[in-house]
Amino acid sequence: RYRGFTRLNHWVTAACMIVLLMTGFSFFHPSLFWMTGLFGGGQMARWLHPIVGLVLVASFLLLFVQMWKLNLPRREDVEWSLKIGDLLKGNEEALPELGKYNAGQKVVFWGMSGLILVLVATGIMIWQEYFPHLVSIPARRIALAVHSLAAVGTILIFIAHVYAAIWTRGTIRAMTRGTVTGGWAFRHHRKWLRELAGRQDADPSK
């Protein structure tokens, strides 16, 4: 399901996200400042946060280039969304056949794409060490508020992404081993499986 490069790219992005969430939380409220100790203190955490943010943007951009076409909306996504109740009940036979990603995964992808764009834009606006005169103080305050709200949205999507991966049994191995079972593919992404089978029929050497 995923090449080694894509899996490494995914885990680098995830690691950056975790570091950013922890360093960001440490400055969000005084009661959380103790978390800066995990990174060598307040000064180190404050330096690390924007640097890792830039690494995240570069890493996610690589993922975006690889996956954006596969995450474009399709007609079956609407039907899948309307039958979300059947999914929660485990009645997946009532759902339409899907390509590589379902509507929920596409929402995570595009939601994260938009929020990361907002985070990097507002992050540069509030990065006083290198851009002290980029915007006015009132604009910087607004940017800080927007940055914080976007971070909360990112956290919620991150939690939903992890929960869905754990809840859908057999999914995590796609990003650890790179493969999924034929049964998993047939149950959750049948159209994608048919596409793979079609490629095999067209070129038996693959």
Of 49, 161, 188, 189, the active-site residue reads 161
The whole-angstrom separation of Cα 151 and Cα 149 is: 5
CB-hemisphere CA count at 13 Å for 108? 19
Residue 116 tokens read as 């990361």
Residue 99 tokens read as 């390509």
Question: Would residue 10 show up in a list of annotated catalytic residues for this protein?
Answer: no
The dihedral sign for the CA sequence 139, 145, 151, 153: negative
Residue 186 tokens read as 């047939």
The whole-angstrom separation of Cα 96 and Cα 173 is: 24
Which residues are catalytically annotated? 161
